[in-house]
Chain A
Amino acid sequence: MNKSFIISGSGGQGVISIGQILANIFMLSNKFVSFCPCYGAEMRGGAVNCEINTSDSELLCLQNEKVDFVIALNQASFDKFLSKVKENGTIIVNSSLAKINKTRNDIKYIFAPITQEAIKLGNIKMTNSIALGILSKLIGELSIDNIKKAYERILKNKTELIQKNIEAYLFGFNSI
């Protein structure tokens, strides 16, 4: 399985965190994986993105022309990364912060009001985990044990926060 992902949004939406969690999940599943964030001054501009690649053999392509999956958590990311989706790839769009608009017919669109769902769950900061849940459902083959472990690695011993994020993740997973 070779798969590539771009996760994008604005600062504070937890883009880098779920990127790292996703990379950890693949690592814990004994896959080769690379996580490449945008960095430095770019981050201060408010737009954040990262690219994750995973492979069953030595991971070679760190940056790709096009990727299998894009998560766009706001309008700017939707606009910027739509063209990066491979033919037959999928884009997950946060329709709370981006207009529903399908301009390509060679890809799969998933629009979900992720921010609103997070607010309904009681914490806007769960936006990223809901998105990750949706993505996981599409990828399949990820074990819930590894997902829990990945959250523990990133959030260390913040037990309550881990629990909430996993709930949000599962909400996302079961929402489609």
Chain B
Amino acid sequence: MQVFSTPKTIKENSSFTFCPGCDHGVALKLVAMVLDELNLQEQTIAVASSGCSVLLYDFLDVDCIESPHGRACAVATGIKRAHKAQGNNKFVFTYQGDGDFASIGISESLHSALRGENITAICINNTNYGMTGGQMGPTSTLGQITSTSPLGRNKEYHGFPIKTAEHIALCDGASFSARVALYDVKNIINAKNTIKKAFEYQKEGLGFSFVEILSSCPTNWKLSPQDSHKKIEEELSKTYKLGIFKDIKNE
């Protein structure tokens, strides 16, 4: 029998404030588990962003700074480099939504990857702006109905969505770029291993590592948690293919 306990890096007595059925909780728990396993808790500075991911510091028991919307990778760059200039090697990662990372912050995100900043970015892709009530975002799929694309995302009218992990993979400074999902146990285990790999690449000083996590948003998708996961398995993971798009060790 396996006994599950709360990871050390999750704050005691904290309760997630995410919507019921949202995958943020699972993703955060995986991040915490990996920080535990790699013994990183006490040398980590996490960068939270705007959106559903903003309350990171309420849950994770690590040093944490909140970044202006979209600027998490720039803030992380400053933290990592400032510590390096003082002779310290700290572990720095961002935890952002897809709107934060790939829309308002795409400049900061891409340039951090291009410069090969030795940081890790975790991007929760739930294909909409969740916190403000489900508006069309950069990752909303063609045909997706949101509060600002009530007739469905239309390529002629709204334009195309972005495949973030593939874009990051094109950056020479990126060491690792992958997309994972959390719709079943097998995928959750894979997601954890992938996050671990991304964190290890930073530890090894290989450059920018990136994990995009396809994540459910039952509230705004107006689906049950089960149907949300089914949607990810059957639809989203066809548009946003799961897998590793760049691995500097396999080149």
A/B contact in complex, CB under 8 angstroms: no
